[in-house]
A = this chain, B = another copy of it.
Amino acid sequence: MIQRKVARLARNAKSLLNSGKWRPLTTSAGIEYQNEPPGPIVVTEIPGPQSRKLQSDLDAIQNASMVQFFCDYDVSRGNYLADVDGNVMLDLFTQISSLPLGYNHPAMTSVLKDPSNWSTFVNRPALGYFPPANWVNRLQSALVSVAPPGMKHVQTMACGSCSVEHGLKALFLKYARDRREGRLYTQEEIDSCMWNQPPGSPKLTVLSFHNGLHGRTMACLGLTHSKWQMKIDMPAPDWPIARFPALRYPLEDYVSENTAEEHSCLAEVEERIDAWNRKEMPVAAVVVEPIQAEGGDNHATAAFFQVLRDITKKRNIGLLIDEVQTGCGPTGLFWAHEHFRLSDTPDVVTFSKKMLTGGFYCKKSFKPIESNRIFNTWVGDPSKVLLLEAVVKVIREQGLVERTRVTGEYLLTGLRQMQDKYPGILTKARGLGTFCAIDFHNTESRDSLVFKLRQRGVHTGTCGSVTLRLRPSLIFQTRHVDLFLEHFQTVLETMPTK
């Protein structure tokens, strides 16, 4: 009886989504939202019975223990994610921050509708050898047109990890070239590198920060220090790791403490660089996220990044800013590091996620000079760049980065009000644009809130050990903020204070 009722509700939710009954809403800014529902629809617990069944089936093929629920992407739209049990959730996590325009955005679907685009999807080239006719134009319009200031060179890659791995290689190459001072490779270098031995394979290292995450291939995992489950049992390079600032909030109350904290971390950076140089494992590069995401949405001030740029520049060490999660507008500028007003641009900036394609930008001096240094079979995927081109056009035409600033301010104000109202539960509301987070006093209450929110059809993420991570898409609007805050408060009301 109950089961049948649930099934009927689920069918109703799906048919409502499919019917297009929700008309596109035209806001004052003229933006349409693809027949979004007026709010979440919840017909089962989440994950529901269909999701749990599928998870068990999937686990027979691979470890499926991380699966949260199975989705119906056909009927998901805009800011709303549908699951296989007929629930429709307001999505503030967007596939770990990887959807620029929400679900089934018409500009992206239009790319698929156009038969002249199909060959790009069925003929994936070895891009480094045999690029398509329109490749230069497409790189220009999708990637060069949104390049960080001062960076006109770009290399595509398939995913975030490969972007960081190959971005590091660009830094190693430049460092080794400078150190070689114009002399040719020696035969000893050529021979020894084939056996992984110095001097051909030099003992170069990369400094990263505690709590950072840069991917999970070997070099990336060597830079990742957010959760031990990712790292234990895996061999890792002996590379230096410095503390990332742990700022106290509210910032305005702790200016001198936070300045001291950042100085201390920067001193540690210099001390570690010296220590590894003394070990004859010279530090060739520093890698940092503009906001440590997976590690707990840890922010540092612009001053911290300015000094970090100055330290690396002074020592002729490369600086890679990893914008895999922060890039493509969510912080209110296209690239988060633009907030820092650095004295000189970073040397390499990596991207992926919302950019749909992985890759890295670099300064001209970091563009590899020789052949066959940064290469693999696919080096990216033109079909992703084709979709990105459509996304960038929408972002530009609809001013979505600027709108994210407005929506983000509204969201952060709301979070601060909640924090003021529930000081026994919440602390450290923070964010740039809609890239927002708030902490709980303990993991249990954070996890309990996320669970309860989800049962109400509001889907959020977590990071660090006590942080609620909000990563809506760029079409998230103030009316979605209102919906989120309404459910957030309702759940907070039910929770015990510490």
- Interface positions of A (Cβ within 8 A of B): 54, 57-58, 60-63, 65-74, 76, 81, 84, 95-96, 98-99, 103-105, 108-109, 111-113, 115-116, 118-126, 128-133, 135-136, 139-140, 144, 152-155, 158-162, 165-166, 168-169, 172-173, 175-177, 185, 189-191, 193-197, 200-205, 210, 215-219, 222, 225, 227-239, 241, 352-353, 356, 367-378, 383, 387
Contacts and interface: CB of A to CB of B under 8 A. Distances in A.
Nearest to A201: B236
B136 A71 contact: no
A185 B232 contact: yes
Contact of A54 (B70, B128, B133): B133
B96 A129 contact: yes
A396 B36 CA distance: 42
A216 B170 CA distance: 13
Contacts of A99: 123
A201 B120 contact: no
A293 B103 CA distance: 41
Contact of A63 (B204, B205, B222, B369): B369
B371 A229 contact: yes
B235 A119 contact: no
A176 B71 contact: no
B96 A126 contact: yes
Given A98-B377, A235-B202, A374-B63, A159 B160 contact: no
A71 B130 contact: yes
A193 B228 contact: yes
Given A74-B119, A131-B70, A217-B162, A176 B233 contact: yes
Contacts of A123: 73, 76, 99, 103-104
A111 B127 CA distance: 23
A95 B126 contact: yes
19 contacts: A54-B133, A61-B152, A62-B155, A67-B130, A73-B125, A81-B130, A95-B377, A98-B377, A105-B122, A112-B112, A159-B378, A160-B376, A169-B234, A189-B232, A195-B225, A215-B376, A217-B217, A229-B371, A353-B377
Contact of A238 (B113, B197, B218): B197
Contacts of A210: 194
A158 B217 CA distance: 12
A218 B217 contact: yes
Given A70-B132, A121-B112, A232 B190 contact: yes
Contacts of A237: 196, 218, 235, 237
A57 B201 contact: no
Given A140-B61, A153-B62, A232-B193, A376 B216 contact: yes
Nearest to A203: B235
Contact of A205 (B108, B116, B235, B238): B235
B112 A154 contact: no
Q: Give 9 nearest A-B pairs by CB, closest first.
A: A218-B219, A176-B233, A201-B236, A196-B236, A165-B217, A108-B122, A112-B118, A65-B371, A95-B126
